[in-house]
């Protein structure tokens, strides 16, 4: 089983996400089903509050992570705050340090300019190589399923769809 840890700087978001995971665990343990299918147990999911930009390298060993997801980060519009973006030229090398060889980074944003920025930062780094959809599908068979969940089932994704 894959262990999943969601790290977020805002406490209220962590509480909300952890509450959702706990609710899903309880539903699973009570034997509730959805459309005749039993729920996943969700015992492999946890959320915690952490400023990954400052303390990420203190929490994980080099090469420990197989995937990193950056989902709907704050765009930090003002020029003086661009340095606070979760993906920036200076932080890309730290994320490469945490990923195992062949690891994947996923980015998703409802702000096209921010998505372009994140992609550019990763593309400009010699530590990362962009893969085609076909290459990702060969490397990671569940890739499409993962992308669909990230882009369509989170609260941010649902809010974006409503816009």
Among positive and negative, which fits the CA dihedral 151, 155, 158, 163? negative
CB 72 within 8 A of CB 34: no
Distance separating alpha carbons of residues 129 and 116, to the nearest angstrom:
16
Beta bridge pairs of residue 43: none
111 CB neighbour count, 10 Å cutoff: 15
CB 99 within 8 A of CB 63: yes
CB neighbour list of residue 108: distance below 8 Å, 6 or more residues apart: 69, 70, 71, 72, 115, 150, 151, 157
Lookup result for tokens 């303390």: 55
Query: Is 137 considered catalytic here?
Result: no
- Among 74, 124, 137, 156, the one annotated catalytic: 74
Which residues form the catalytic set? 74
């Amino acid at each position: 089983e894959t262990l999943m840890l969601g790290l977020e700087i805002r406490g209220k978001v962590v509480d909300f996400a952890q509450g959702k995971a706990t609710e899903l665990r309880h539903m699973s343990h009570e034997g509730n089903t959805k459309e005749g299918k039993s729920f996943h147990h969700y015992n492999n999911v946890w959320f915690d509050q952490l400023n990954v930009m400052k303390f990420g390298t203190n929490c994980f060993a080099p090469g420990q992570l197989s995937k990193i997801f950056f989902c709907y980060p704050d765009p930090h519009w003002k020029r003086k705050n661009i340095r606070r973006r979760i993906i920036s030229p200076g932080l890309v090398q730290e994320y490469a340090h945490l990923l195992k060889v062949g690891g994947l980074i996923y980015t998703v944003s409802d702000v096209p300019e921010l998505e372009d920025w994140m992609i550019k930062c990763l593309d400009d780094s010699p530590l990362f190589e962009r893969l085609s959809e076909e290459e990702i599908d060969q490397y990671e068979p569940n890739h499409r399923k993962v992308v669909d969940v990230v882009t369509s089932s989170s609260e941010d994704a649902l809010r974006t769809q409503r816009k």
